[in-house]
């Protein structure tokens, strides 16, 4: 029935001589002193009674195993959990769309044999191609030899099998079913913890078995095989299960050994540090040996069996259930009853007294009611015994007792797993399918029915269907391999896509150098993408400024009107007003009328009506200034496009609007860029603040330049703040080598194509769009969202830059990330979530590094201007991207340290916005005006 299986115990005999001696010593047949019939029935009773397990005991095992499982899941180290709960890196059950040809190598599931399969997955539900397979018997000396011998043998079997198949020698993908307890650290990385089930090859425990197999295949040299995935047999069993009405989320194997795997919530698996989705966990329940729970059901035969096994004290639960042990338990009972004269008239045979002589196949056959007495008789005779009719009947009862207990114990353990599932899913009634595999499940006549009946008794709230695995789990292994191969291919495509975003030191140093060159040209008034606009701000505040000022702040996320009171400290009252897109992109007159309306409203609310306070206007767009209160708008940026403003003096436009709205009097003193306002605002606290940086909707920087370097402004001494308008850096094509096709798409779709190229790679208005374009591309490659393009993702600006900040936040669990993405209507799998996160990281990292290269260029310029060996300088920073993104600021700082090592650059975040700075510029101007009047 189970032909071709050398009994594992046989060669244990050769290493355990006591077994033989025991046998020889007891061989004589007692003529006298046989028990009387009544005694003998008591003896039988006593003996079989030991294998009876009560429902209470089963419930105790169920509860105790559940406790151990939960303890192991929590990662509790002490007391050492009785089961291992090993995560397998299989994160989802099959979709049914997996396809391709795969080689599967199975080692360890079925005794001393190894199986190679050729599995074809069609990707079409219900359409199966029968796998081709070949079984190889592992020679005894290999099973107990060196690891290299074992893996060389496996590689040899692979070649022999493949030689007979019409396949190419190249590019084969292999799934490795390795059924021993392993610590997996990836789909293709798995370290053997300890051998079980009669294997004991040296030099393998503690090693990555995938690597050992790869090395052996390479030594063999015949085939180019990529070992893509490694799985436990239980996982193969679960994954190969036909897609049915309910999810198959448990894989049970009872073969030489026994074990189960199931889909656990990843957040409950402490070692994974993962909070999304589910992961398949191999329970390794064979090692369950809780004394409290198992003690009462352990028989003297279990103790003897354990004592004489290759691994005494280990795998105690497996030794009561696994096929490797059932025959041996039966043999021990029969030998005992024979010795006591109850069986075979007290005459044992040498075979009966030798370890491993009774095999699982014997037990299964003898217990099978349809086998008939003659068959049992024949098996016993083969063991050298002379059975009478009563012997035959008693032997059948012994087989039934041993197997019934095995099935009941297995059921108690399975009930524990089902309780766990039910608990973690928080479901009243759990509906689940259990895939079953292994020879005991498949071929033992009563095992499955007892198992199922007992599970119903112990877990009545679970609605379980049992589905036998069709081909020993080979298909499931191929499924995992297909998924692993697909994930590996997707990862390669993801890496290729993101590679242009990963800038190295040389590329960043080149950006810094180009920026320096463009700055110099711009300052000289030569053609350059950096305009280097003089701002007429000549000094940072000195603390002597005083008075009440109004300020406007236009051009960032919010439009604000502020009242700034400068005494020994600065007090700010402000209000945010919205600028509807229709106004930002309507006529200039509308825009400035709207601004004045907001000021009037603010004045009324603050009780300032009728007062003509000096006003500082933060206007965050490129302006050519001819003085502090004169700024000609060069061009709109960042989504503003009001007509009839470009080429006009913005202060005049504001004054005209004030005149139109006759009720109000305002004294516009200064117009400042937001970078300047920010620098001044931070400069009030720190006199070393000589750089202003904005990374928000747009990006830009300003800094204090030597006046002698500024063409077009008279004077050779002192400083002047220069608004770099670095957002336009690269508009002359100098950044083209760094620009990706995604940048090009974002630029093309913007309202100012070809303009603000640096800004479009860095600032908040564009990063979300870059991410969206990458996601579209990855979807078209089938890497994301199962290749399904969604309408939502086609929508412009749907992916806000604030999502990048949220998604990349360390404090956010991946499941929350998924929720954000699901809110966008994206059909995510858990693999997708991680990929989207990686895309966001690549895009924001490049942005931060480019920004850092810019700051490094500015700091170096200041250092060189002043002829200093070392420069200590502060940068005042504002902008939602810089402030809200969890890693942006530290990446900028790291890049500056790398590219400008001689500058100690400190970053100060502006807390009050640039309005305070605009007020301070106004205050200085008023002070100067007063002093000239005096
Ligand atoms: C604000 C400043 O805090 O930051 C504005 O007050 C500036 O002047 C803005 O424009 C930049 O950030 P964002 O993200 O609002 O564009
Ligand atoms: C043993 C192994 C386990 C395997 C089981 C069934 O218990 O340790 O990994 O799943 O046997 O083959
Ligand atoms: C844009 C504007 C610039 C401003 C920056 C930050 O680049 O052109 O003036 O400083 O955005 O808001």
The reported pLDDT for the residue numbered 30 is: 59
Nearest to 871 by CA among 858, 880, 881: 858
Asked whether 647 and 556 are in contact (CB, 8 A), the reply is: no
**Span 18-29, average pLDDT:** 40
**Least confident range of 40-49, 280-289, 738-747:** 40-49
The reported pLDDT for the residue numbered 542 is: 78
Label residue 663 by pLDDT band (50, 70, 90): low
**Span 460-472, average pLDDT:** 88
pLDDT in tens, 587-640: 999 999 999 999 999 999 999 888 889 999 999 999 999 999 999 999 999 989
Please say if the pLDDT value at position 311 is more than 70: yes
Give the range with max mean pLDDT: 27-31, 37-41, 245-249: 245-249
Nearest to 173 by CA among 228, 93, 97, 100: 228
Asked whether 879 lines ligand 1 (CB < 6 A), one says yes
The reported pLDDT for the residue numbered 467 is: 93
Residue 4: Cβ within 10 Å count: 10
Please say if the pLDDT value at position 158 is more than 80: yes
Please say if the pLDDT value at position 422 is more than 60: yes
Label residue 27 by pLDDT band (50, 70, 90): low
Please say if the pLDDT value at position 769 is more than 50: yes
Asked whether 174 lines ligand 2 (CB < 6 A), one says no
The reported pLDDT for the residue numbered 369 is: 78
Q: List the end-to-end C-alpha distance of the chain, in Å, as a whole number.
A: 116
Buried b / exposed e over 541-576, threshold 16 CB at 10 Å, is beeebeebbbbbbbbbebbbbbbbebeeebebebee
The reported pLDDT for the residue numbered 2 is: 35
Please say if the pLDDT value at position 324 is more than 60: yes
Residue 870: Cβ within 10 Å count: 9
Please give the mean pLDDT across all residues of the chain.
90
- What is d(CA 536, CA 534) in angstroms, rounded to the nearest whole number? 6
Which ligand has its closest atom nearest to the C-alpha of 554?
1
For the chain, give the percent of residues with pLDDT over 70. 94
Asked whether 549 and 543 are in contact (CB, 8 A), the reply is: no
Which residue's alpha carbon is nearest to atom 9 within ligand 3?
A: 621
Ligand 3 pocket test, candidate residues 558, 640, 673, most atoms within 8 A of CB: 673
Label residue 129 by pLDDT band (50, 70, 90): confident
Q: Which helix (H) or strand (E) holds 48?
A: helix 37-49
**Span 345-363, average pLDDT:** 94
Eight-state DSSP code of residue 585 = T
Distance 549 CA to ligand 1 centre (A): 19
Which residue's alpha carbon is nearest to atom 2 within ligand 1?
A: 913
The reported pLDDT for the residue numbered 812 is: 66
Which residue's alpha carbon is nearest to atom 2 within ligand 2?
A: 180
Label residue 815 by pLDDT band (50, 70, 90): low
Instruction: Dig out the tokens for 693 from the structure.
Output: 């940086």
Please say if the pLDDT value at position 29 is more than 70: no
The reported pLDDT for the residue numbered 813 is: 64
Please say if the pLDDT value at position 827 is more than 50: yes
Instruction: Dig out the tokens for 411 from the structure.
Output: 């059921």
Asked whether 764 lines ligand 1 (CB < 6 A), one says yes
Antiparallel, parallel or unpaired: β 172-178 and 225-231: parallel
The reported pLDDT for the residue numbered 89 is: 87
Instruction: Dig out the tokens for 136 from the structure.
Output: 């190889």
Asked whether 685 and 543 are in contact (CB, 8 A), the reply is: no
**Span 661-674, average pLDDT:** 88
Report, as residue numbers or ranges, the catalytic residues: 560, 620, 674
Asked whether 553 lines ligand 3 (CB < 6 A), one says no
Label residue 145 by pLDDT band (50, 70, 90): very high
Domains contained in the chain, CATH given: 46-62+292-468 (3.40.367.20), 87-241+471-501 (3.30.420.40)
* Alpha helices, DSSP H, located in 607-692: 650-660, 674-683
Please say if the pLDDT value at position 720 is more than 50: yes
**Span 231-239, average pLDDT:** 95
Nearest to 768 by CA among 806, 740, 727, 802: 802
The reported pLDDT for the residue numbered 17 is: 31
Asked whether 514 lines ligand 1 (CB < 6 A), one says no
pLDDT in tens, 630-653: 999 999 999 899 999 999 999 999
Ligand 2 pocket test, candidate residues 318, 321, 442, 472, most atoms within 8 A of CB: 318
Region label for 167, one of left (φ > 0), alpha (ψ between -120 and 50) or beta (otherwise): beta
Please say if the pLDDT value at position 799 is more than 80: yes
**Span 740-769, average pLDDT:** 96
SS3 content of the chain, % helix, strand, coil (to 5): 45, 20, 35
The reported pLDDT for the residue numbered 16 is: 33
The reported pLDDT for the residue numbered 363 is: 94
Asked whether 913 lines ligand 3 (CB < 6 A), one says no
- What is d(CA 546, CA 927) in angstroms, rounded to the nearest whole number? 8
Number of helices and strands (H, E) in the chain? 32, 26
Which residue's alpha carbon is nearest to atom 9 within ligand 2?
A: 180
The reported pLDDT for the residue numbered 870 is: 97
pLDDT in tens, 531-552: 999 999 998 777 788 899 999 9
For the chain, give the percent of residues with pLDDT over 90. 72
Give the range with max mean pLDDT: 36-45, 78-87, 676-685: 676-685
């Amino acid at each position: 029935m189970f032909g071709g299986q050398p009994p594992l115990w046989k060669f244990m005999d050769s290493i355990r001589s006591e077994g033989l001696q025991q046998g020889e010593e007891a061989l004589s047949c007692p003529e006298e002193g046989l028990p009387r019939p009544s005694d003998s029935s008591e003896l039988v009773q006593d003996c079989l009674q030991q294998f009876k397990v009560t429902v209470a005991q089963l419930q105790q095992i169920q509860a105790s195993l559940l406790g151990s499982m939960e303890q192991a899941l929590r990662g509790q180290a002490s007391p050492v959990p009785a089961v291992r709960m090993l995560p397998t890196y299989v994160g989802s059950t099959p979709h049914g769309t997996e396809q391709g040809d795969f080689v599967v190598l199975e080692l360890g599931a079925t005794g001393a044999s190894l199986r190679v399969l050729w599995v074809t997955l069609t990707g079409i539900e219900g359409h199966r191609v029968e796998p081709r397979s070949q079984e190889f018997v592992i020679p005894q000396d290999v099973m107990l030899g060196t690891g290299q011998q074992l893996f060389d043998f496996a590689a040899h079997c692979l070649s022999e099998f493949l030689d007979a198949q019409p396949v190419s020698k190249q590019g084969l993908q292999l799934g490795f079913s390795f059924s021993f307890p392993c610590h997996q650290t990836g789909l293709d990385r798995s370290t053997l913890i300890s051998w079980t089930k009669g294997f004991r090859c040296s030099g393998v425990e503690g090693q990555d078995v995938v690597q050992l197999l790869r090395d052996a295949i390479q030594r063999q040299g015949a085939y180019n095989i990529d070992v893509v995935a490694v799985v436990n047999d239980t996982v193969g069993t679960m994954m190969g299960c036909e897609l049915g009405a309910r999810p198959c989320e448990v894989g049970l194997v009872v073969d030489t050994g026994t074990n189960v795997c199931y889909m656990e919530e990843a957040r409950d698996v402490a070692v994974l540090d993962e909070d999304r989705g589910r992961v398949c966990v191999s329970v390794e329940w064979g090692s369950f040996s809780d004394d409290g729970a198992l003690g009462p059901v352990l028989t003297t035969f279990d103790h003897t069996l354990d004592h004489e096994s290759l691994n005494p004290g280990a795998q105690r639960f497996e030794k009561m259930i696994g096929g490797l042990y059932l025959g041996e338990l039966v043999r021990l009972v029969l030998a005992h009853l024979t010795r006591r004269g109850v069986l075979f008239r007290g005459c044992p045979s040498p075979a009966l007294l030798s370890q491993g002589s009774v095999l699982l196949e014997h037990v299964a056959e003898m217990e099978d009611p349809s086998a008939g007495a003659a068959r049992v008789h024949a098996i016993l005779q083969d063991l050298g015994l002379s059975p009478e009719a009563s012997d035959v009947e008693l032997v059948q009862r012994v087989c039934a007792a041993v197997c019934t207990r095995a099935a009941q114990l297995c059921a108690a353990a399975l009930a524990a797993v089902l309780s766990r599932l039910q608990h973690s899913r928080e479901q009243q009634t759990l509906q689940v399918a259990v895939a079953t595999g292994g020879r005991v499940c498949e071929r033992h006549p009563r095992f499955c029915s007892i198992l199922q009946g007992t599970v119903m008794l112990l877990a009545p709230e679970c609605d379980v269907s049992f589905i036998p695995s069709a081909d020993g789990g080979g298909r499931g292994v191929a499924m995992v391999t297909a998924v692993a191969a697909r994930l590996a291919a997707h990862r390669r495509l993801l890496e290729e896509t993101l590679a242009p975003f990963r800038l190295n030191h040389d590329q960043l140093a080149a950006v810094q150098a180009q920026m320096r060159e463009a700055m110099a040209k711009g300052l000289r008034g030569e053609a350059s993408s950096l305009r280097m606009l003089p701002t007429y701000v000549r000094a940072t505040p000195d603390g002597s400024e005083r008075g009440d000022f109004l300020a406007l702040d236009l051009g960032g996320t919010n439009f604000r009107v502020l009242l700034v009171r400068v005494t020994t400290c600065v007090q700010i009252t402000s209000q945010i007003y919205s600028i509807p897109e229709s106004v930002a992109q309507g006529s200039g007159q509308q825009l400035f009328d709207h601004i004045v309306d907001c000021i009037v409203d603010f004045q009324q609310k603050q009780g300032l009506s009728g007062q003509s306070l000096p006003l500082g206007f933060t206007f965050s767009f490129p302006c050519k200034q001819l003085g502090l209160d004169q700024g000609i708008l060069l061009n709109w940026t960042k989504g503003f496009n009001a007509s009839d403003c470009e080429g006009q003096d913005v202060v005049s436009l504001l004054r005209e609007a004030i005149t139109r709205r006759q009720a109000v009097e305002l004294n516009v003193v200064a117009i400042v860029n937001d970078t300047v306002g920010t620098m001044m605002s931070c400069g009030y606290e720190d006199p070393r603040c000589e750089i202003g940086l904005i990374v928000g909707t747009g990006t830009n920087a300003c800094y204090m330049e030597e006046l002698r370097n500024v063409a077009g402004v008279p004077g050779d001494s002192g400083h002047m703040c220069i608004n770099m308008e670095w957002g336009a850096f690269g508009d002359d094509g100098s950044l083209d080598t760094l620009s990706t096709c995604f940048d090009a798409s974002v630029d093309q779709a913007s309202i100012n194509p070809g303009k603000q190229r640096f800004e479009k790679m860095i600032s908040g208005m564009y990063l979300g769009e870059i991410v969206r374009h990458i996601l579209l591309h990855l979807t078209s490659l089938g890497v994301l969202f199962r290749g399904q393009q969604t309408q939502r993702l086609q929508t412009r600006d749907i992916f806000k830059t604030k999502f990048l900040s949220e998604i990349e936040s360390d404090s956010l669990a991946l499941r929350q990330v998924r929720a954000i993405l699901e809110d966008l209507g994206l059909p995510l799998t858990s693999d997708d979530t991680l990929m989207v996160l990686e895309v966001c990281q690549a895009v924001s990292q490049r942005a931060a590094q480019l920004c850092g290269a810019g700051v490094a260029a500015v700091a170096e310029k200041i250092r060189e201007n002043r002829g200093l060996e070392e420069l200590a300088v502060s940068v005042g920073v504002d902008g939602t991207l810089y402030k809200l993104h969890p890693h942006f600021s530290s990446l900028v700082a790291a890049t500056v340290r790398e590219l400008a090592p001689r500058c100690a650059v400190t970053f100060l975040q502006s807390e009050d916005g640039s309005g305070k700075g605009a007020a301070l510029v106004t205050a200085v101007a008023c002070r100067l005006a007063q002093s000239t009047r005096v």
